Structure 1
Amino acid sequence: MFTPSRPDRVDDPVVKKVQVFRTVVGLVAVTWMLLSYGIASDADAVMNDRFGQIRTTLIVLAVTFPVAVAVFIAAARPPNRRLFLRRAVKPAGALLALVVTLAVPRLITGLGYVTEDTDWTASAGRVVLLFALGAFCLWLAPFGFYGIAQSLVHVFRTADVHETVPPLLATLLVWEVALFDAFRGAYDGVPFAVRMAFILGAPLTVTAVALWELRRLRTRHGITLRAALLR
């Protein structure tokens, strides 16, 4: 559901290793900063901070994704415009699946089916509902976590549209999140120089990796943005 599946897609394992290495180094650095400067008191606080960042990223990505892909398709000339439009169906489906997955638990509680005052032993029907919801959540939780991880790694499988879309979209996304962090005062309490280093560290490194990936696509595989758009 969340990984690219286009048969003729170029999948460069070297690029994937560099992306994973950058992500791990960034996570270690942020964890060190949160603990060193007392922003997070323990591992649970670090996890809460990272989940908050992931939630922000997903929201920004959900808004940016359709606009960026639409601009990419509109910039392409026929017949590639129609081709990319067909290919965009699966990435859009991945986005919709993740939104539905994250919305279902809130929908269940919001409609009043499950509340803090629910008496599960009041009737046999509620017991059946308890087991049904439990089984559903046992499947939904790992599906949602896996979907979040894969969506961030594969940028909602936009490589199915074209190989150049993920690095371009990732660069746009990470700069948007950096601006959001700057305006909301992320890492408040950390010295200004360190805070700027961490706010700008992610977009600068992601941009560097994206430019390197685009160059590698051009030099190793003959894939360019200009050729994709038939410009």
Structure 2
Amino acid sequence: MTKKEILEAVKFDDKGLVCCVIQDYHAKKVRMVAYMNKEALEKTLETKQMTYWSRSRGELWVKGETSGYYQYMKGLSIDCDGDALLFQVEQVGGISCHTGHATCFYRDLEEDIDVIVNRTKVSKSDIELFNLEATINDRIKNPVEGSYTNYLIEKGENKILKKVGEEATETVIACKDGDKQAIVGEIADLIYHLTVEMGVKEISWSDVFEELKKR
């Protein structure tokens, strides 16, 4: 759909607003829900930077203008009735919620639902892994002076792959030695360097998880 067609298809409520569900482009998890008026939607479509309408302040606000955690539009879908929008966004940094959480939906049902028709519960470790991925992807696109991630990228892929190999070897040695804390540390180093290489190759952990589901 064109921008014009999108604007014509959206049905704003009696307050001139439409509900927007914000989904992480890489992790495929819902980060937040917000509202837009026509002006906010037009600005978002024009700049690709997520702009919302604050119902409490009664004004437009660009996500990240105070926190630094900006969101950039990667895709948009309109529901069948035209009264709700689903945005896929690339999040700068790992925090979407004003409470400091990665997602506004951080309060879960306190019971084990893993057994329900192959549904998988999102754990805190899943969120942390996606946060790591988002941070590394941000460093790739927006280099930061003194960043170790940017140091690796500047040195080139051979340097990254060398570190992946070294950390894999050190993980094996730690496992053979049997020191649990050392094993944890080496696995963390290996995952970090793997995630850097995945970022360079534009591969996400969601891609890896989807492959694992097939096995």
Q: Same fold (TM over 0.5)?
A: no
Give the alignment's TM-score, normalised by structure 2.
0.24
Structure with bigger helix share is: 1
